Chains A and B, each alone.
Chain A
């Protein structure tokens, strides 16, 4: 009697043990929980960084308008930038930034597209073996080095050519042109390579020359990709700070011509932010410039998305 009781008890604990095991997570499941936790944490950190960056810069940037009660319109259209006297018209910098960005993109695009056509259509062999590594290397050259070359070569050259100080929008344009060229070229090459081979074959089979094929078929169907490349180049030019700051001359006045000293949003930020006191109007005004930079970068980002979406639609049809 006592023995069976003992056995029953033993069975009981055994089944309890089993039910415990069956109802609890296995080692693999627990491992997965931990792994999931780690990877969620990491992605959380990134989201936190992005969110706090947007939040901090926005809140600092709008302080000019909420705390110092400067009107937004005056800020955007004013041409007098002397923050220590309370005059903060940001138009000179805005115009400067857009001028160098568009000028660099306009100059760089034909060169980039031409090089890309050479690398994909005319001489793919040389393109792959020789041009590709060179362009990859150039993407990696630090911007201060471009700035230094600009200062040592482009500025004296411009001074010699047109007179004046040599600093100015045209020097900045030239430096930015060289900087964005590899970016635009390598992305254009990718989009040209993505054009289906049979497009080209069909065109050549119809008797079209190589240039007809390139200009009417390949460039046409790669247009969304090329546009994306150009926008990426413009975004890089717009946000580039040091190389531009070194050659543009940093005078916060409305640019009268292309060869006199001007300034951009980034150049004003790099030179100014260290000299102002946190919370004062001159400091807040600089943060507003940073906010414009941030918004423009978001705008370029959105533009790329719109183009990608429209490009997709075209291919599906």
Chain B
């Protein structure tokens, strides 16, 4: 009897815990969406920010976030693809490989503020590039590389050995086998990982406040020449992203309606992350169906 009663009490307590956790989670999402969504409008999404008190739209910040994301991915995908192939295919099981693996692990566990400070030290202080899109993109790359590398390695290693043997027995080189046979099979997993990491990069702020900067100079969206100072594509201009904007609005708090504006910006940010998560699932399963011919 005693054991059964204990079992019942434990079950009730666990149910209670889960109820609290679910409650907190729903409160979080509901709070942001209910407080934020009414303020989200087309003019909010595309408008310019008032440079004095931070009121107004988030158009430039939204563009900056996407621009940084694209640049980060352009730099980090090729590097982590090569590194992932190295780890999955060429690395031997010895001390050197385990050293490399621990280095990647260390990089992935570093706090993002430390990564940001390193970027600040390297690009802003040492190379004197200043707060710029390119410094931010490289800092985000540092932060993104280990996760993406591990994801790519895992996806590649999950491909059955027989596929590798088939390629090699046809006389293909290891490299050709990897790029022509293994990579397409592993693609769904890789794409899922890339999109998920894009969501993380999109919301990152700590690594950016001292690399991409905290100001969003008004850019001329009619000027698409990357060399012009006012062009949105210019990689050497400072670029405050949406996540940094939320942080700044809340810490400097000059706007009288800062809370409503940050709620709206948070709602946009969360919806973007949600779309990335959803996109990862949909794209991954679509690609999986395409390349494996399974229904």
Q: Which residues of A contact B (CB under 8 A)?
A: 28-29, 31-32, 34-36, 38-43, 45-47, 49-54, 56-57, 60, 110-111, 114-115, 117-118, 122, 131, 134-138, 140-145, 147-149, 151-153, 178, 181, 185, 208-212, 214-215, 235, 238-242, 245-246, 266, 269-270, 273-274, 278, 287, 290, 293-294, 297-298, 300-301
Which residue from chain A places its CB closest to the CB of B27 in the assembled complex?
A: A153
Contacts of B107 in A (CB 8 A): 46, 49-50, 53
Across the A-B interface, the 6 shortest Cβ-Cβ residue pairs: A239-B111, A35-B175, A142-B203, A42-B82, A114-B17, A39-B86
Which residue from chain A places its CB closest to the CB of B262 in the assembled complex?
A: A148
Q: Check A42/B79 contact, CB under 8 A, given A53-B110, A140-B199, A273-B117.
A: yes
Tell me, in angstroms, the Cα distance from A115 to B16 when the chains sit together: 10
Tell me, in angstroms, the Cα distance from A293 to B116 when the chains sit together: 13
Q: Which residues of B contact A (CB under 8 A)?
A: 3-4, 6-7, 10-11, 13-15, 17-18, 20-22, 24-25, 28, 31-32, 35, 78-83, 85-87, 89-90, 100, 102-107, 109-115, 117-118, 120-122, 125, 142, 145-146, 149, 171-176, 178-179, 196, 199-200, 202-206, 209-210, 243-244, 246-247, 250-251, 259, 262-263, 266, 269-270, 273-274, 276-277
Contacts of B244 in A (CB 8 A): 144
Which residue from chain A places its CB closest to the CB of B246 in the assembled complex?
A: A144
Q: A238-B111, A245-B251 are in contact. List 9 more A-B contacts (CB 8 A).
A: A35-B173, A42-B80, A45-B79, A45-B83, A49-B107, A142-B203, A143-B205, A152-B31, A211-B3
Asked if residues A209 and B7 are in contact (CB atoms below 8 Å), the reply is: yes
Candidates B31, B82, B142, B171; contact of A49 at CB < 8 Å? B142
Asked if residues B269 and A110 are in contact (CB atoms below 8 Å), the reply is: no
Which of A35, A56, A210 has the most C-beta atoms of chain B within 10 angstroms of its own C-beta? A35
Q: Check A210/B7 contact, CB under 8 A, given A114-B13, A269-B113, A269-B117.
A: yes
Q: Check A300/B109 contact, CB under 8 A, given A43-B87, A209-B7, A245-B251.
A: yes
Tell me, in angstroms, the Cα distance from A46 to B121 when the chains sit together: 18
Q: Check A210/B11 contact, CB under 8 A, given A56-B118, A140-B273, A142-B205.
A: yes
Instruction: Looking at the assembled complex, report how far the CB atom of A258 sits from the nearest CB atom of chain B, in whole angstroms.
Output: 20
Q: Check A46/B104 contact, CB under 8 A, given A143-B203, A144-B246.
A: yes
Asked if residues A273 and B120 are in contact (CB atoms below 8 Å), the reply is: yes
Tell me, in angstroms, the Cα distance from A42 to B82 when the chains sit together: 5
- Grouping DSSP codes into helix (H, G, I), strand (E, B) and loop, the A interface class, with mixed when no group exceeds half, is helix
Which residue from chain A places its CB closest to the CB of B85 in the assembled complex?
A: A39
Which residue from chain B places its CB closest to the CB of A57 in the assembled complex?
A: B118
Contacts of A143 in B (CB 8 A): 203, 205-206
Instruction: Looking at the assembled complex, report how far the CB atom of B135 sits from the nearest CB atom of chain A, in whole angstroms.
Output: 14
Which of B6, B100, B113, B209 has the most C-beta atoms of chain A within 10 angstroms of its own C-beta? B113
